A and B are shown apart, each in its own frame.
Chain A
Amino acid sequence: MQPKTFAIILTGTILLFVLNLIRREKMSFKYAVTWLVSSLLALLFSIKEVWLQAISKGVGFTLPSNFVFFLLLIFVLLFSLLLTLYINEQNNRTENLAQTIAKLDFRLKKLEKDGEIKS
């Protein structure tokens, strides 16, 4: 098999997989958009590898494969940074929720104690 065919099949599969995840509502668009864009780009570059070669030469890479590895590394790094941000946001939200529940619990107990409502 030609490397080009192999690359097209692989990137095409990933793209379809992501699309399917969105269709089945396993992933919301907000989180899928990074994957969509990157798999689209990968598919585009495996079809038009001359574009990839031109760009990699343009930014000073001797080997296009090095350029691809570099792009991958940057993508993974950025994506893990984004995920850290999301986790943090989720953490803050769950903490707020827990505190709100505790405060409601406190007020309820107080009302019960003061006899304003029955437990």
Chain B
Amino acid sequence: MNPKILLIIPALNEAGSIGRLLEEIKTTFPQADRVVINDGSSDLTAEEALKTGTCVANLPFNLGIGGAVQTGYQIAHEQGYDIAVQVDGDGQHDPKLILSLITPILEDKLDLCIGSRFLDHDASSFRSTAARRFGIRFFCHLLKLLTGLYLTDPTSGFRATGKKLNGIFAAYYPVDFPEPEAIKIAKRRGMRIGEVPVQMRERRSGRSSIRPLATLYYMIKVTFAILIDLLKKKS
């Protein structure tokens, strides 16, 4: 039986690039269903997505990346998808790598598989700014300290999840800057977590939701959230 795969594509004002990304996905990975979560865009993101024959879930106003992605996990959970893959709507994530991302889950080796920019020592791929790399390394060590699990790229939003984790994330998903905290939640629920190497591309248009000045706030907020998660129940 073929596994049901849902690609969750959160997008905020990505009208300039979403169409090309969706066409690319259609040719490289036609076997998966796609849903664009339009997080209250003020441009033609939804229309551009619909043109490619992709279903769009329009949020009536902006919820932030966490709320948008969670909507995708809720759809995956409620409609019984076996695997959900998060792909950023800005084109940073290469659709050709989706297959390597879901393979460990298909083989039942992992419940959460994260695409890491830092596993593969290929200098040509895009690896973000110095300030952000510092933030990323900080979370690597924090997660290692608290969970014993060492990941090279805990802030990567390019990730695939299995059925069990889709249900967990459908019920609770962190609000803003959710990626590292989501790993901690998955770990607490006894999920198997791992990484596969990916290359990321520079964004084609629009701007990242994480501005340089916000990096410090990001680090404090996420650290606090991860520490709070320590106090939550195991199961």
Give every chain A residue within 8 A of B58 (Cβ-Cβ).
101-102, 105
Bound: A86/B70 CA distance, A: 23
Contact partner of B59 among A102, A109, A110, A113, CB < 8 A? A102
Give every chain B residue within 8 A of A70 (Cβ-Cβ).
none
Give every chain A residue within 8 A of B57 (Cβ-Cβ).
102-103, 105-106
User: Size of chain A's interface in residues, with CB distance under 8 A?
Assistant: 11
Give every chain B residue within 8 A of A101 (Cβ-Cβ).
58-60
Would you list which residues of chain A between 62 and 109 have a CB under 8 Å from chain B?
95, 98-99, 101-103, 105-106, 109
Give every chain A residue within 8 A of B78 (Cβ-Cβ).
103
Give every chain A residue within 8 A of B38 (Cβ-Cβ).
102
Bound: A98/B53 CA distance, A: 23
Contact partner of A99 among B35, B55, B59, CB < 8 A? B59
Known: A99-B74, A103-B78. A110 touches B55 (CB 8 A): yes
The minimal Cβ–Cβ distance linking A32 to chain B, given in whole angstroms, is: 30
Chain A residues within CB distance 8 Å of chain B: 95, 98-99, 101-103, 105-106, 109-110, 113
A-B contact pairs, 27 of them (CB 8 A): A95-B63, A95-B67, A98-B59, A98-B61, A98-B63, A99-B63, A99-B67, A99-B70, A99-B74, A101-B58, A101-B59, A101-B60, A102-B37, A102-B38, A102-B57, A103-B57, A103-B71, A103-B74, A103-B75, A103-B78, A106-B35, A106-B57, A106-B75, A109-B50, A109-B55, A113-B53, A113-B55
